[in-house]
Amino acid sequence: MKRWLHAASAASLVFFCSAAGADEGMWPFHGFPFDKVNTALKTHLDQAWLDRARLATVRLANCTGSFVSGQGLILTNHHCVEGCLAELSSKDKSYNDDGYLARTGAEEKRCQTQVADVLTQMEDITAKVNAATAGKADAALANEARKAALTQLEQACESGSQLKCQSVTLYEGGQYWLYKYKRYTDLRMVFAPEIAIGSFGGDPDNFQFPRWNLDMGVLRAYENDSPAKTPNYLKFNFAGPAAGQAVFVSGHPGSTDRQLTVAQLLGERNVDLPQWLLRYSELRGRYIQFAQVSAENERMVADQLNGIENSIKVRRKQLDALHDDALIARKTAEQQALEKAIAKDAKLKAATGNPWKDIEAAMEKEAALFQPYTFLENGAGFQGRLASFSRALVRGTAEREKPNTERFREYTDAALPRIEQQLGAAVPVYPEMEILRLGWGLERMREWLGPDHPVVRRLLAKESPEELARRLVTGSKLADPATRMALWKGGKAAVDASTDPMIQLWRSVDGDARAVRKSYEDSVEAPVRNATERIARARFAILGTSVYPDATFTLRLNWGTVQGWNENGTPVEPFTRLGRTFERATGADPFRIPDSWLKVKDKLDMNTPFNLSTNNDIVGGNSGSPLINDKGEIVGLMFDGNIHSISGSYWFDTVKNRSVAVHTAIIREALTKVYGADALMSELAR
Residue ranges that bind a second copy, judged by CB under 8 A: 201, 203-205, 208, 266, 269-270, 274, 277-279, 281-290, 292-293, 312, 316, 319-320, 323-325, 436, 440, 446-447, 450-451, 460-464, 466-467, 586-589, 591
Kind and range of the H or E run holding 279: helix 273-292
Burial label for 403, CB within 10 Å (0-12, 13-18, 19+), is exposed
* Nearest to 77, CA basis, from 578, 645, 681, 611: 611
Residue 684 beta carbon to a second copy: minimum distance, rounded to whole angstroms: 32
Give the burial string for 468-506 (b: 16+ CB within 10 Å, else e): bbbebbeebbbbebebbeebbeeebeebeebebbbbbbb
**Residue nearer to a second copy on the CB measure, 251 or 465:** 465
Burial label for 590, CB within 10 Å (0-12, 13-18, 19+), is middle
* Nearest to 173, CA basis, from 555, 538, 534, 553: 534
Residue 627 beta carbon to a second copy: minimum distance, rounded to whole angstroms: 26
- Could you give the CA distance from residue 380 to residue 374 in angstroms, rounded to a whole number? 6
Residue 367 beta carbon to a second copy: minimum distance, rounded to whole angstroms: 11
H-type helices in 353-462, by residue range?
355-372, 385-400, 416-424, 431-449, 454-459
* Nearest to 647, CA basis, from 311, 203, 315, 278: 315
**Residue nearer to a second copy on the CB measure, 467 or 510:** 467
- Could you give the CA distance from residue 179 to residue 445 in angstroms, rounded to a whole number? 37
- Could you give the CA distance from residue 652 to residue 411 in angstroms, rounded to a whole number? 35
Residue 285 beta carbon to a second copy: minimum distance, rounded to whole angstroms: 3
**Residue nearer to a second copy on the CB measure, 225 or 325:** 325
Residue 81 beta carbon to a second copy: minimum distance, rounded to whole angstroms: 25
**Residue nearer to a second copy on the CB measure, 349 or 592:** 592
**Residue nearer to a second copy on the CB measure, 282 or 595:** 282
Give the burial string for 213-239 (b: 16+ CB within 10 Å, else e): bbbbbbbbbbeeeebbebeebbebbbe
Q: Phi and psi at residue 206, in whole multiples of 5°?
A: -60, 140
Residue 107 beta carbon to a second copy: minimum distance, rounded to whole angstroms: 33
HSE-up of residue 228 (Cα within 13 Å, Cβ side): 25
Query: What radius of gyration, in Å, describes the C-alpha atoms of the chain?
Result: 25
**Residue nearer to a second copy on the CB measure, 106 or 588:** 588
Residue 644 beta carbon to a second copy: minimum distance, rounded to whole angstroms: 15
**Residue nearer to a second copy on the CB measure, 120 or 508:** 508
- Could you give the CA distance from residue 144 to residue 139 in angstroms, rounded to a whole number? 9
**Residue nearer to a second copy on the CB measure, 181 or 207:** 207
Residue 282 beta carbon to a second copy: minimum distance, rounded to whole angstroms: 4
**Residue nearer to a second copy on the CB measure, 34 or 591:** 591
Residue 525 beta carbon to a second copy: minimum distance, rounded to whole angstroms: 23
**Residue nearer to a second copy on the CB measure, 103 or 313:** 313
Residue 523 beta carbon to a second copy: minimum distance, rounded to whole angstroms: 17
Residue 141 beta carbon to a second copy: minimum distance, rounded to whole angstroms: 29
- Could you give the CA distance from residue 606 to residue 110 in angstroms, rounded to a whole number? 35
**Residue nearer to a second copy on the CB measure, 319 or 494:** 319
Residue 588 beta carbon to a second copy: minimum distance, rounded to whole angstroms: 4
- Could you give the CA distance from residue 245 to residue 352 in angstroms, rounded to a whole number? 43
**In one letter, which amino acid is 627?**
L
Residue 545 beta carbon to a second copy: minimum distance, rounded to whole angstroms: 34
Kind and range of the H or E run holding 662: strand 659-663
**Residue nearer to a second copy on the CB measure, 8 or 436:** 436
- Could you give the CA distance from residue 85 to residue 98 in angstroms, rounded to a whole number? 10
Residue 518 beta carbon to a second copy: minimum distance, rounded to whole angstroms: 22
- With contact defined as beta carbons under 8 Å apart, do 625 and 66 qualify? yes
Q: Phi and psi at residue 129, in whole multiples of 5°?
A: -70, -40
**Residue nearer to a second copy on the CB measure, 204 or 475:** 204
Listed as own residue / partner, the contacts of 102-106 with beta carbons closer than 8 Å and 24 or more positions apart are 102/188, 102/189, 102/190, 102/191, 103/679, 105/227
The contacts of residue 568 (CB under 8 Å, 6+ apart) are: none
**Residue nearer to a second copy on the CB measure, 315 or 556:** 315
- With contact defined as beta carbons under 8 Å apart, do 73 and 220 qualify? yes
- Could you give the CA distance from residue 518 to residue 670 in angstroms, rounded to a whole number? 53
- With contact defined as beta carbons under 8 Å apart, do 153 and 128 qualify? yes
**Residue nearer to a second copy on the CB measure, 321 or 393:** 321
Residue 338 beta carbon to a second copy: minimum distance, rounded to whole angstroms: 22
